[in-house]
Structures are given as structure tokens and as C-alpha cells.
Amino acid sequence: MIQPTTVNSVFKAKNDINDIAQRMGYQTLSIFRYDVEADTDDQLYSRIDGITAPVVSGDLVIFQYPTNDGFKFDEQFMSHLVDRGVHVVIQIHDAECLRGYVPYDEVAFFNRASAIITHNDNMTNALADKGVTAPMFANYAFDYLSVNTKNRYTQADKHLEKSLVLAGSLDKSRYLEHWPYQTNLVAFGRNETMQLDPQIDFRGEVKPEELGYIIPYRFGLAWDSNIPNGGQYKDYTRFNNPHKVSMYLANGLPVVLWKDAGMAPFVVKNHLGITIESLDELDDALAALSQAEIDDILQHVETVKWALRDGFFTRRAIMRMELAILGRQIKL
């Protein structure tokens, strides 16, 4: 397992997977973020040799990709393991080849793996279209382990508001600069570049482990926008599982997603919220929800909430991957 040190949602996503895998008997290979370019080739080789020293031929390693140490490091790390006869399973956190041009052959990198854990079926199909031939298994949602085991919203006097909360990277939410909708929105996150619309109730940046205690009881919005000269984030949501969706659901909140998002089929099939084509549909879509529909959504959210908190989706993906790789060696 790979456990880099970051300070955002990627940190929690990777560490939750690490914790779940440890419960299943895996051991941690710790990788710390550093300036890879400061290493000579020999120094990089020695560094990775030390990290992978406990691993022997026939072992299975879950490689949480990317490590945030750069593709040079990731490629060398993969080569070390594959050349040693290790089964490498890539747990994708981001696939750069689906975000646009990348100056390296990520598809060839993926094809060196024994198996790949993708986000959802859209990502699996898109990678296959790009030329990825390694076996792929979708996890459908990132788990969200929580020390807050109480449900803040079981009290009879709590009612779900037909309004929104947004938590996460606000730089990908340019629509907050102009919010012409009637639906109230509370926003948590770091904002260094935008002048938010006066209608936005901005409450600053909150650590993930603290957010569950203060997040208001309303629909969680997962809606990225493209940034001029800065990334096609909305297009990328066709393929990825936003970590904020898991955070909302793990805290008992239904969600609002773009209807073409990669997680939309999961949300629709499991009655976890609503999907819309455009934010212009937001006011009418929420207003149209009956109390019976809301009650049905909340009942389904309750089931998925505990699955996310317990690591269900990660365990399922790992077990499917183990069966595909190690099961070939066992005759029944």
C-alpha cells in the first residue's frame, strides 16, 4: 500500500484505503512526498529499493496511483516491483490520460499492472478505449471511514432542507462567482482566487475530520466547472468518483450531480439524490421533490452511509481483484 503525505481529500482517500487494506492483512509501504528531481538515477533506484525491500516475488501490492511524487517516481516504482515478479494492482485516484494531454505514456504504464481498480464503469470503458488491456474492476465509490459514529440527523426535529452545501476545492466551482438561483448554498473550502456571489454563505476551510460535526442537513452538491487555462474538470467528472460525494453520503446527506457524471448511474440506481443536466434546472428539481420521495432517498442514503463508513466498496474491489489474480493459481 502507498501512503503519501498530502493535506487534502486525496490524503483521506488514500489513507482510508490503506486502513481498510491493513484490516484485510496488507502491510504498508510508506512513500513520502519529496523532490524527485533532486535524486540522481542511482539515488532514486536506492530509495525505491529500500521502500520495496519487504516485497518478494509472488507478493501482491496495491499501488495507489499517482503518488504525487511525479510520473518518473511512479514508473520506476512499478518497474521495481514488476521486474521482481510482484503482482501490482493499480488503485487509480486520477487518470491523467482522461483529463487531456499528458507528456508520458500512461496507458503503457497501466498495462504493466496485473489488475486495475477504476472508479466506475465509465472510467473502465474510457481506459479500454484508450488501449488499456489489463483487467479492470470498478469500486463505484470511495469509502469514507469516520470516527463520528453517531448520526446527527436521526432526531425527530431534524428535517432535510431543500437547499445545498458544497465542500471541497472551490477553485473548481466557478459558478460560485455568479449564483442567480433561489436555492440557498453553504460553501466550505479554501478560496484564494474568486469573488463569491453575495448569496453564497461561505464558512471557510474545515478539516475533513471536523466537517461531519458541523455540515448542515441539506443536499450535497458535487459539481465541477471547467477553469479557463486551468483544466477540464467538468469533463473529467464523466469518469471519476468525486471524494466529496462519499463525504456527503457518509454524513447522511443526499447528493446533486450532473446527469452525465461517472457516479450518476450509481446515484440513480441506489436512489441517493438527484441528477440534472444544468444548474439552471436546480431550483425546479428540488422544488418538485415530494416528502415521500425525500423519505425514500434518505432511507437509501442511510444504507450506503454505513457501507461507506465500514469500507465496503474497497473491500469488495480488493476481493474481486485477489480472486482474479490469485484465484488463477488455485484449482477447485
* 96-121 pLDDT per residue, tens: 999 887 889 999 999 999 999 999 99
pLDDT for position 1:
45
The model's pTM: 0.92
Interatomic CA distance for residues 282 and 72, integer angstroms: 43
pLDDT for position 158:
67
Residue 280: name the closest of 200, 195, 178 by CA: 178
pLDDT for position 86:
97
Q: Which residues of the chain have pLDDT under 50?
A: 1, 3-7, 155-157
- Phi then psi dihedrals of residue 215, to 5 deg: -65, 130
pLDDT for position 166:
97
Contact between 9 and 168 (Cβ < 8 Å):
yes
pLDDT for position 148:
65
Q: Is the dihedral of CA 119, 124, 129, 132 positive or negative?
A: positive
Q: How far is CA 174 from CA 191, 229, 240, 242, in A?
A: 11, 13, 19, 17
**Full set of structural domains in the chain with CATH:** 9-143+311-329 (3.40.50.2000), 161-310 (3.40.50.2000)
pLDDT for position 171:
86
Interatomic CA distance for residues 244 and 110, integer angstroms: 26
Count of alpha carbons within 13 angstroms of residue 49, beta-carbon side? 6
Residue 218 three-state SS:
strand
Interatomic CA distance for residues 253 and 82, integer angstroms: 42
Contacts with 154 (C-beta within 8 Å, 6 or more apart), sequence order: none
pLDDT for position 153:
56
pLDDT for position 33:
83
Contacts with 94 (C-beta within 8 Å, 6 or more apart), sequence order: 65, 66, 240
pLDDT for position 157:
47
% of residues, the chain, pLDDT over 70: 91
